[in-house]
Structure 1
Amino acid sequence: MLDDLRTLVELETHSYDKPALAAGLRGVRALAAERLGTPDAEVVHDGGAHGDVLELTYHGTAPGQVLLMSHYDTVWPTGTLAEWPFSVVDGRASGPGVFDMKTGLVQSIWALRGLRELGLPHPGVKFLFNGDEEIGSPASREHIEAASADTLASLVFEASLNGAVKTARKGVGLFDVTVTGVEAHAGLDPTAGASAVHALAELVTAIAAGGAPELGTTVNVGLISGGTGRNVAAGLATCGVDVRVSDFAEMGRIDDLFASLRPSDPRVGVSVLGSWNRPPMTPNPPSQRLFKEAQAVASAQGWTLEEASVGGASDGNFVSGLGRPVLDGMGAVGDGAHARHEHVLVEHIPARTALTIGLISALA
């Protein structure tokens, strides 16, 4: 499994490098075929400017189908590997994308191999590998939603939270606020101008005040730009906003907040673009039953499985938003997603794979 992990990590797959993504997906396809044989069905969905989506289906020995979801793209720009090569030192595997989430991808493939070698009954398995998760899954969302229909369960191989699976995630909204002002010379004719920068400063305060941590809602204005010179009343200013919500009702409140933005200077115009990238992932009844099943499997294997709620989103949000059974965080135990200390604790890889084997077999 570590050899397979090395193979995938050394295929760099930055979300914005289409040729690298294509090579990476070929590597994933070859790895699946080597470990599992030729799939019974294979579909590639064109991702356009983004990574393509690969679906591989393998028949089972029992009715039904389980969807195993992994993204193969990473946040790390092509070339990172040259200064940060894959390594295993003191029980830690490190390298770009090793934790988020190439270890989970390897575990998912080996779970089906394990089911076969152990002779355990299991439903059919469909793998879905997408290359745009780190940028919001713009090309793969529709395929994820379609593939998760009529399945016994969808298992997402994002990393765990210190071993806990993720049963709740926040929804994400991404918005851009653009303010249009009136340019003028700041010294010669200061009253003729209507500064977009000044107006945006007012609006940023109002936007940030929309956060309600007690309701699970956070609002972050993470980007600001505007103006053309110190001595010019700015004609244009923009800001980029990230919103996280735990409750569907909060999405409507935030939408109303953006619709109500009004600068104090009537000469200034405001427009808001953006949308809700992912709905909240809430523990719906089918997902709660799935977690209890996973807990029982872990208990039978001699350990206790915990659940966690996290602020980050994943492709599991799409499945949960449709009321379907999904369990996230089936992947690695480690730390450092999107950071240079990204690593996986090797000792946990067998147990995490065994959990998946047991859960899929239980669903038979």
Structure 2
Amino acid sequence: MAELEVLVDDVRRLVEVESPSLDVDACTASAENLAALIEERTGRAASLIDSPVGPHVHWSGGGEPSVLILGHHDTVFPLGALAERPFRHADGKLTGPGVFDMKAGIVQAIHAVAELDDASGVEMLFTADEEVGSAASRDLLEERAQACGNVLVLEPSGDGGAIKTGRKGAGTFEVVVHGRASHAGLDPDAGINSLIEAAHQVLVIASIGDAAAGTTVTPTVAKAGTADNVVPAETRVRVDVRVTGPEEKDRVEAAMAALTPVDERATIEVLGRIGRPPMPESASATLFPLAQQADPGVVGVAVGGASDGNFTAALGVPTLDGLGAVGGGAHADHEWVDASTLPARVALLRGILERIPAP
């Protein structure tokens, strides 16, 4: 079993090389650091696959592929976050930018693979743009998922270490309301107030959600106007959407496309879509029992968040998610990992890998 001290040191090594999404230089340094660690622990070199957003890191144990371990090395935190929140191991917790999502999970995977008596058939892929939609990695990860036939995703676990057996589909829309500017004091009626129109639309948008169906449609960010004495000519509203099935995906996309202005002089432009399809619990039906065999105490849970596992599950490839670190605070300054769980999570992943049949 992997020693806790070694695991913690390896997590430190990854966290201390910052990797904000879309920063090509930072993600290049991160990929090189990650590839070096993989080679040190497994004895086999990893490949760097260039992309417009920075390198993806791919590793193969050789032989006919049978399982893809899928993760990402980019994080949501900007350069400089490490200086504000250095990596720490204190009171049983690991903290630092990206430690929970998902650099500790990457370390767990590397050690699980390194402990296998025979790693042939196993591949690992750590992409550089999951946090910003996976546009530069989707084709690659889908190709490798189909080639391998099984996918284990290293996103952080659910509460208490639960494995994620299902996920909602997710997408972001931007609703752009076009009006006309005018002087707010001298001639307000000459303008078309995009902010007032957007207020009407926000209420309509929020009503598209359906709690009974598990669908959430949530306006999250709004930007309007240029000055406090100008009728705003343009307002932009961002909308987060989560759906449980393809029927709801179609319904929500149609409802968003059908938004109609209350003020007929205004126009509405709807951008975006539900880009990550739902991951039904059926996608994990063959893999979750292997996790239970490896650890009878493990539990599964369906969650609202999305990951690259949504893409692989949509292809019909068996997919099990949430196999990363145990902790909390993903995407927040207080994110943390329960250090004591690292060896057990390595053992869990190793146990699943050992139980996946050869092709």
1:276-301 CA distance string (max 9 Å, x none): 221111122x52111112111213xx
Contact 2:253–2:274, Cα closer than 8 Å, also in 1: no
CA–CA distance in structure 2, aligned partners of residues 227 and 188 of structure 1: 17
Contact 1:66–1:123, Cα closer than 8 Å, also in 2: no
The Cα shift of 1:122 comes to 5.2
- Closer/same/farther in 2, CA of residues 322 and 229 from structure 1, 3 Å limit: same
- In structure 1, the partner of 2:139 is 142
Contact 1:183–1:235, Cα closer than 8 Å, also in 2: yes
For the pair 1:326 / 2:319, whether they are aligned, the reply is yes
- Closer/same/farther in 2, CA of residues 124 and 223 from structure 1, 3 Å limit: same
- In structure 2, the partner of 1:297 is 294
- In structure 2, the partner of 1:74 is 75
| 1:180-329 correspondence runs (5 A) | 180-284=178-282, 287-299=284-296, 304-329=297-322
- In structure 1, the partner of 2:126 is 129
In structure 1, what residue type is equivalent to 2:138? R
- In structure 1, the partner of 2:62 is 59
In structure 2, what residue type is equivalent to 1:257? A
Instruction: Give the secondary structure class of the aligned counterpart of 1:159.
Output: coil
In structure 1, what residue type is equivalent to 2:333? R
Contact 1:123–1:361, Cα closer than 8 Å, also in 2: no
Aligned residues: percent identity?
A: 44
1:20-71 CA distance string (max 9 Å, x none): 11100000000011111234xx5533321x23222211125xx542101111
In structure 2, what residue type is equivalent to 1:236? E
- Closer/same/farther in 2, CA of residues 192 and 57 from structure 1, 3 Å limit: same
The Cα shift of 1:347 comes to 1.6
* Cα RMSD, aligned residues only: 1.6
CA–CA distance in structure 1, aligned partners of residues 235 and 259 of structure 2: 14
Contact 2:167–2:306, Cα closer than 8 Å, also in 1: yes
1:146-191 CA distance string (max 9 Å, x none): 1100324111111111211001111111111111112233343333
CA–CA distance in structure 2, aligned partners of residues 102 and 185 of structure 1: 52
- In structure 2, the partner of 1:87 is 88
In structure 2, what residue type is equivalent to 1:14? P
- In structure 2, the partner of 1:5 is 11
For the pair 1:31 / 2:27, whether they are aligned, the reply is no
- Closer/same/farther in 2, CA of residues 85 and 228 from structure 1, 3 Å limit: closer
Instruction: Give the secondary structure class of the aligned counterpart of 1:150.
Output: helix
Match 1:154 to one of 151, 154, 161: 151
TM-score, with length taken from structure 1: 0.92
- Closer/same/farther in 2, CA of residues 339 and 187 from structure 1, 3 Å limit: closer
Contact 1:179–1:199, Cα closer than 8 Å, also in 2: yes
| 1:333-348 correspondence runs (5 A) | 333-348=326-341
CA–CA distance in structure 2, aligned partners of residues 34 and 288 of structure 1: 34
The Cα shift of 1:307 comes to 0.2
In structure 2, what residue type is equivalent to 1:315? D
The Cα shift of 1:123 comes to 4.5
TM-score, with length taken from structure 2: 0.93
In structure 2, what residue type is equivalent to 1:264? V
CA–CA distance in structure 1, aligned partners of residues 130 and 188 of structure 2: 47
- In structure 2, the partner of 1:355 is 348
CA–CA distance in structure 1, aligned partners of residues 354 and 65 of structure 2: 11
- Any unmatched runs of 5+ in structure 1? none
Please, which moves more after superposition, 51-60 or 257-266? 51-60
CA–CA distance in structure 2, aligned partners of residues 155 and 171 of structure 1: 18
Contact 2:178–2:268, Cα closer than 8 Å, also in 1: yes
CA–CA distance in structure 2, aligned partners of residues 232 and 309 of structure 1: 47
Contact 1:287–1:324, Cα closer than 8 Å, also in 2: no
The Cα shift of 1:354 comes to 0.8
In structure 2, what residue type is equivalent to 1:335? G
In structure 2, what residue type is equivalent to 1:208? A
Instruction: Give the secondary structure class of the aligned counterpart of 1:262.
Output: coil
